[in-house]
Amino acid sequence: MKVLGRKNNLAEGKEHATQATQQSQAAEEQSNSAHAKSCGWSAERIEGRGWGAGAGRRVQATVKPGPAAAHTSSRVISRAPAAKGPGAHPLRYPRRRVYSRPARYPLGRSDMSTMRILTAAAFATVIAVSTASAQQVQRVAGTIDKVEGNTLYIKSANGPVSLTLADNALIVARVKASAADIKAGDYVATGGIPQPDGTQKAVELRIFPESMRGNGEGHRPGWPGAPNGTMTNGGVGQTVTSVDGPILTVKLKDGDKKIIVGPNVPVSRLEVADKSELKSGVAVAAAAATKKPDGTFTATRIDFGRGDVLP
């Protein structure tokens, strides 16, 4: 009877211990759940099988952030990875909920790569727009076929062209002249070629009217009239006669330029005119005509030649 009593007492003790353990687990689980909800976290059950050789390593829990994922506090329960084999021991609390704060990623390679891509795309867009704009402005030249109001129908080397002039368009006539007509104080535009001694050998020269003084003033490369061509616009300071022809000193803000005008250099004088001289058969040129989506052109200035002068 004494043995039977001891067994009953032992069974009751084990039952009480089991109930206490279960109550402790339930209390801890409720505490974890409450904390997770307050932080805006969600959880997944982690199935564990035991402590093994990998003890001490942290279990990576798959966690879905809740609406309050930005909460800064955390409660993370670590578990060693499950181990198999004779040396493995069962987990103390199997199927325990494990909570982990959602991963937070600082600005890193992925974000930087995205920024680089967006920046490159922005530059590419700017370059594409600039290129498109440059392609829309071009030179239109030819002979007038007919005139209808402000619209000129021109026979160009590339086929018929429709060019509409602005109501206040500048109409400029080019008249034949010579180097002897150039005098000090004139405002000239010279297309030339640089020489080894620093001078510019003129290929073409135009004398501007007083109303156009200051137009394109300066010295710059890129004149298309000759290889390595330059354009020099400025007032004539003095003229010196030489074996190769007159040498003009053109006054510029960044330094004077000497222009050699040979005997065969075409010289023309520009004069402001009106639309009445734009008739069928007249040679015209618009240096900066804008092409519209429908293929026609518009311009705010057009030059034409008087007599046998080509613009």
111 pLDDT more than 90: no
Task: Give the pLDDT confidence of 121-144 residue by residue, as tens digits.
Answer: 666 655 555 555 545 899 999 999
Q: What is the pTM of this model?
A: 0.55
Query: Distance between CA 91 and CA 82 in Å, rounded?
Result: 9
Query: Distance between CA 54 and CA 57 in Å, rounded?
Result: 6
40 pLDDT more than 60: no
Please give the pLDDT value at position 74.
42
Over range 18-26, report the average pLDDT. 66
Task: Give the pLDDT confidence of 139-180 residue by residue, as tens digits.
Answer: 999 999 999 999 999 999 989 999 999 999 999 999 999 999
Please give the pLDDT value at position 86.
52
Please give the pLDDT value at position 191.
96
Please give the pLDDT value at position 238.
85
The residues near 248 (Cβ < 8 Å, ≥ 6 apart) are 182, 188, 190, 236, 237, 238, 239, 258, 259, 261
Q: Which residue has the higher pLDDT, 57 or 209?
A: 209
Q: Which residue has the higher pLDDT, 128 or 51?
A: 128
